[in-house]
Amino acid sequence: MDSEVLILLSGGVDSAACVDFYIELGRPPCGLFIDYGQPAARSEFKSAKAISHYYSIPLLYSKWKGHTTKTSGFINGRNSFLVAAALMERPDSVYVIAIGVHAGTVYRDCSKHFLTKMQNIIDLYENGKVELSAPFIDFTKSEVYSYCIKRRVPIELTYSCESGGPRPCGECLSCKDREMLNACL
């Protein structure tokens, strides 16, 4: 595998946009899907596979199960766990770990401050050789959607409901965000 960028590919709109972003830059990505016991894992993985197939990129899969049941909504430590797992699982050719976080969210682990702190941790292990990247950190969700529409990112392949049901619940933050996307279309 000659990928330069490992994208935390959740199967959602933001991570699909990251795949497109790095391909457009000419930097070969691969995806990493992490099943950490989230309710939507099965549906998210199905979407991550569809996105990786669409873009013809390799998709790695990692599974972890803790002792607590994960629910929809905020999961404390989620993004730091995902970044650490990506650091552990990255192929030798990868020197960028990308995450699809964006501005305008209440989650502290979707901020420049969080990215700086995580980069410091990565640097402890990699001595500056691996970069944590979030190409949409200054974008609002609607700007990410606009990017996807402009670039023809296959948003119909994505999954964005935290409940994990066969149909979107319409109540979770991801479903509320998806309503914004439908308004943009």
**Confidence category of residue 181, pLDDT binned at 50, 70, 90:** low
pTM confidence score: 0.92
Between helix 173-184 and helix 141-151 the angle, nearest 10°, is 50
In angstroms, the CA 155 to CA 85 distance is 26
Task: Give per-residue pLDDT as tens, 130-140.
Answer: 999 999 999 99
Q: How many domains does the chain have?
A: 1
Domain region containing 61: 5-184
Tokens 């509320």, residue located: 176
Task: Give per-residue pLDDT as tens, 26-66.
Answer: 999 999 999 999 989 999 999 999 999 999 999 999 999 88
Residue 163: which CATH number? Answer: 3.40.50.620
The C-alpha angle 150, 108, 27, rounded to 5 degrees, equals 40
Spell out the long-range contacts of 114-123 with Cβ–Cβ below 8 A and sequence spacing 24 or more: 114/79, 114/80, 118/79, 118/80, 118/83, 121/84, 122/83, 122/87, 122/97
